[in-house]
Amino acid sequence: MKKILFSLLIFTAFLIGGWWINSFRSFGPSAVLNKVNFLKSNKVNSANVNSPASALKVIFFDIGQGDSALILTPQGKKILVDGGPDDKVLSKLGKYLPLRDKKIDVMILTHPHADHLEGLISVLRRYEVGEVYYSGMIHTTAGFLEWLKLIKEKDISMKIIKKRETVEIGGVNLDFLYPDRDLSLGAVSSAAGTAGGNGATDISDSEQESKYKSNGNLNNTSVVFKLSFGRTSFLFMGDAEKEVEEILLKKCGDNINDNIKEEALNKVKTENGDCFLKADVLKAGHHGSHTSSGEEFLRAVKPKQAIISVGKDNDYGHPHLRVLRRLERLGIKILRTDEIGDIEMMSDGMIIK
């Protein structure tokens, strides 16, 4: 009897201890704790951040050679952008989410290369996923098909990004900048049709399609979006290369877009003359490869910090030295996941820390 009571006592002690530590180190309260420190150091503009849950947290995972980032919105929504090349993302989620939390509200796949996709397959298996955002680009690798199969099996709704649009989730705005047209195969012909039956564009479109199918240019189907909260913003490039950057730059002038909401429009106006690409933090395209992050583009984005998600001693030679020099020259602080591990950033709507 005594023995049983003793074991029960130990068990309960561990149960409560585990629960306590788990809640302590996990997302909710720790965010509050960080917030307290944060407020102490930045007394300005504290009016904005009165309620404890009004901070945005973005974590760029150190996931090896690949991309993965978790966005925790002020209202507690969880957005996972890409999953990295393997299951490691599960351990990362295990580290940053509390034990009972098995839900991802939005999963964004920028493009179907394995170093962005693989981890998402495991996440789909383990986590309850609310919605998936994707460019709609069809790929034929087994991994991609598995991903699609799981989405279908679990009856998760998929939103195809095919034009510039802004989505509001949990207190933040996701402004999707690219793709600016429908890339899903079934819709190609209709897109060509609306182009007015112009033979020339038709051909160039299909040429582009076939180019996208080749490995290198799948990068240019990347979903590019800007995450903004208050006056702070993060630009997620996926693996988009200079071609996409040029397309985005061309539109830099015409800020006003039908799909942008009123507030966003106001914001653009107040930022007198700044391109809509402007962001505080840039997740550099294609792991800092020289195919991305052109000078002109960087000048338009004007980030204070650039994140390079890259594996140590990877086979591709990422990030490229030229890109690093370019960033340095423009006075942009470089943060690399292979050097400093997971990169956690907090925003109160005014300042990013």
Q: 77 to 106, contacts with another protein by CB under 8 A?
A: 85-88, 90-91, 93-94, 97, 99-100, 102
- The least CB distance from residue 298 to another protein, in Å, is 32
Residue 87 vs 131, nearer CB to another protein? 87
Distances (CA, A) of 222 to 40, 91, 101, 111, 291: 39, 25, 29, 5, 14
Q: Rounded to the nearest whole angstrom, what is the least distance from the CB of residue 90 to another protein in the complex?
A: 4
Structure tokens at 54: 């009004």
Total interface residues for another protein by CB under 8 A = 33
Q: Hey, which residues between 112 and 141 contact another protein (CB under 8 A)? A: 114, 118, 121, 126, 141
In the complex, minimum distance from the CB of residue 221 to another protein, in angstroms, rounded to a whole number = 20
Q: Among 145, 185, 321, 340, which residue interacts with another protein (rule: CB under 8 A)? A: 145
According to CB under 8 A, which one of 1, 36, 47, 142 is a site residue for another protein? 142
Nearer Cβ to another protein, position 146 or 202?
Answer: 146
Q: What is the C-alpha to C-alpha distance for residues 87 and 103, in angstroms, rounded to an integer? A: 17
Least gap, CB of 91 to another protein (angstroms):
5
Residue 335 CB, shortest distance to another protein, in Å, is 20
Rounded to a whole number of angstroms, the minimum distance from the CB of residue 80 to another protein is 14
Angle at 98 between CA 92 and CA 99, to 5 degrees: 95
Contact residues for 151 (Cβ-Cβ < 8 A; gap 6+) = 124, 132, 158
Which whole-number Å values give the CA distances from 196 to 77, 192, 204, in the listed order?
A: 41, 7, 14
* H or E segment to which residue 210 belongs: helix 199-213
**Both tokens of residue 330?**
């423009």
- Residue 7 or residue 198: which is nearer to another protein going by CB? 7
Q: Can you name the residues that pair with 78 across neighbouring β-strands?
A: 72
Distance of closest approach, residue 332 Cβ to another protein, in angstroms:
29
Closer Cβ to another protein, 58 or 97, answer by number: 97
**Between 78 and 242, whose beta carbon lies closer to another protein?**
78
Buried b (16+ CB within 10 A) or exposed e, 227-265: bbbbbbbbbbbbbbbbebbebbbebbeebebeebeeebe
Interatomic CA distance for residues 284 and 113, integer angstroms: 17
Angstrom distance (rounded) from CA 346 to CA 353? 5
Residues that bind another protein (CB under 8 A): 3, 6-7, 11, 14-19, 21-22, 85-88, 90-91, 93-94, 97, 99-100, 102, 114, 118, 121, 126, 141-143, 145-146
